[in-house]
Amino acid sequence: MSDHAQKPFLDLLHTQRVWDVDLPAFDAAGAPPAPLPLFHAWFAEAVTAGQAEPHTMTLATVDAQGLPDVRTLMLHDADERGWHFATHATSAKGRQLAARPYAALGFYWPARGRQVRVRGPVTACSRAESSADLHARSTGALASALVGRQSEVLGSTDALDRASEAAWRRAREEPDAEVASWTRYVVEPREVEFFQGDARRRHVRLRYRREGGDGAWERELLWP
């Protein structure tokens, strides 16, 4: 790309504003002893602030060559076990997790100037829990799961159209249809970091870390 073609992009890029809203204060000293209650509170505040799709998150995994991979998907729950999501075990991320069962999650809520990062080992849930996850979702979600073949090379859009139409018909006719590859996963947190942006760039970063088998969390502030 020529310098002339690059300049309009850079001009556009540099005119974008960051956190063009009033940002809340975050007193890390008053944070709870464990990260889950704080995550629940921040999520609720993001919803109240009108954050679009606050339940979307990035999922980072590592492939067989040790190279990082990342994508955006939906959070299905966050409880005492960890942060939950679901996908096909046969997908790229499913295969990567089978080989290297460790992942990182990232949430970004610009309406509040906040990020949350989660890291830890990943466990596949039971067949029953994965099935319940699938059937708690919409007809469209079931149809998408029935299409399957996620991450495989697609020969043509016509092939996708035919497979999608057939999957939609089956999803309507068989709402209890099973998809053997559909798997619910849970990221068991070892580290959870909360980032609160500040207009003067004095960002607050609070990291929770859990080491050992006693389940106790350590809290520490990080330089922004």
Mean pLDDT, residues 128-152:
88
CA distance 219 to 32: 10
Mean pLDDT, residues 20-30:
94
CA distance 92 to 149: 10
- Per-residue confidence (pLDDT) for residue 72, from 0 to 100: 98
Position 150, amino acid: Q
Q: How many CA atoms lie within 13 A of 38 on its CB side?
A: 24
- Per-residue confidence (pLDDT) for residue 7, from 0 to 100: 83
Kindly tell me if the per-residue pLDDT of 4 is higher than 70.
no
How many angstroms separate the Cα of 129 from the Cα of each of 8, 135, 136, 145, 183? 50, 10, 11, 16, 8
CA distance 117 to 190: 11
Mean pLDDT, residues 121-146:
91
- Mean of per-residue pLDDT scores for the chain: 93
Burial class (CB in 10 A: 0-12, 13-18, 19+), 117: buried
Q: Cα torsion for 117, 96, 156, 163, to the nearest 10°?
A: -90
Q: CB within 8 A of 121, min separation 6: which ones?
A: 101, 102, 187, 188, 190
Q: How many CA atoms lie within 13 A of 140 on its CB side?
A: 0
Position 126, amino acid: S
- Per-residue confidence (pLDDT) for residue 194, from 0 to 100: 98
pTM summary value: 0.91
Provide the 10 A C-beta neighbour count for residue 113. 21
Mean pLDDT, residues 84-96:
96
- Per-residue confidence (pLDDT) for residue 213, from 0 to 100: 66
Tell me, rounded to whole angstroms, the distance of Cα 40 from its chain centroid: 15
